């Protein structure tokens, strides 16, 4: 009898639940970006969306419970289920990426690297929308400085509004989240930002179909990670590998 795990070649594991809507968005993008004609040609994916992982920002900023043990446990659960490559649709959780990578027995793709690989070559002034913890730990800032980019982030009450927008979306209030977030985007554009990184996986869900109202290029961190994972699969599967930098006019 053939082992079912052995039949699933080049399976991608999603270590999600941070939050569940962002995980569902990632699954949707795996389908949307995989341009095939049959069910059987889609990528085998195992999704773990167990939402009991402690709040990442609360841990990093105010000494709350650490999510690391949960992340490691679900990582190994995905490995045991047959995943050969792990992706994590949460930017703040990448504070623990290197530690998780050392614990893993399979490949992992970093959302920060995937996102920054999609920055347009001509872009010089970059804005970053992210959680307080992602900003405080400098996850993106260090990499952007190495690329010679000028970076703007919301500060003070503006960043407070970004965080309120993220938590409003998590609570199911899209209208409130947009009311809070959209003025912060306009403020960054007024500072000369030409490219805006959506460095929290709830941000693309808040902006959603309203992307055309803003005069800048958006980089969707979830979409970038999905595209990187698809390239991993294509390479493993002997397929033609998709380009690293697609034409990015907005949110897919």
Catalytic center residues: 90, 200
Q: Residue 238 and residue 236: Cα distance in Å, rounded?
A: 6
**Cα 252 to Cα 8, 61, 88, 142, 219, distances in angstroms:** 28, 32, 19, 27, 10
Beta-bridged to residue 47, according to DSSP, are 14
Helix ranges restricted to H, 109-242: 111-116, 132-136, 139-146, 157-170, 174-190, 203-207, 221-236
Helix ranges restricted to H, 16-129: 20-33, 56-62, 68-81, 97-103, 111-116
230, 46 Cβ separation under 8 angstroms: no
Beta-bridged to residue 128, according to DSSP, are 197
């Amino acid at each position: 009898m053939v082992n079912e795990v052995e039949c699933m070649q080049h399976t991608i594991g999603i270590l999600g639940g941070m939050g569940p809507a962002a995980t569902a968005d990632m699954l949707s993008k795996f389908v949307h970006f995989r341009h095939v004609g049959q069910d059987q040609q889609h990528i085998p994916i195992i999704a773990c969306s167990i939402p009991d992982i402690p709040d990442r920002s609360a841990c990093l900023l105010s000494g709350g419970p650490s999510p690391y043990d949960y992340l490691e446990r679900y990582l190994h659960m995905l490995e045991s289920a047959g995943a050969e490559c792990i992706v994590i649709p949460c930017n703040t959780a990448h504070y623990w990426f290197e530690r998780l990578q050392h614990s893993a027995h399979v490949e992992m793709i970093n959302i920060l690297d995937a996102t920054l690989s999609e920055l347009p070559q001509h872009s010089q002034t970059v804005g970053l929308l992210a959680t307080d913890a992602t900003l405080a730990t400098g996850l993106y800032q260090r990499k952007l400085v190495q690329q010679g980019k000028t970076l703007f982030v919301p500060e003070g009450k503006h960043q407070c509004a970004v965080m309120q927008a993220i938590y409003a979306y998590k609570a199911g209030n899209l209208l409130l989240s947009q009311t809070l977030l959209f003025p912060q985007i306009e403020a960054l554009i007024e500072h000369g930002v030409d490219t805006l990184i959506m460095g929290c996986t709830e941000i693309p869900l808040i902006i959603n179909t309203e992307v055309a109202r803003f005069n800048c290029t958006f980089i969707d961190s979830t979409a970038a990670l999905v595209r990187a994972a698809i390239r991993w699969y294509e390479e493993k599967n002997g397929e033609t590998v998709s380009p690293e930098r697609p034409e990015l006019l907005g949110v897919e």
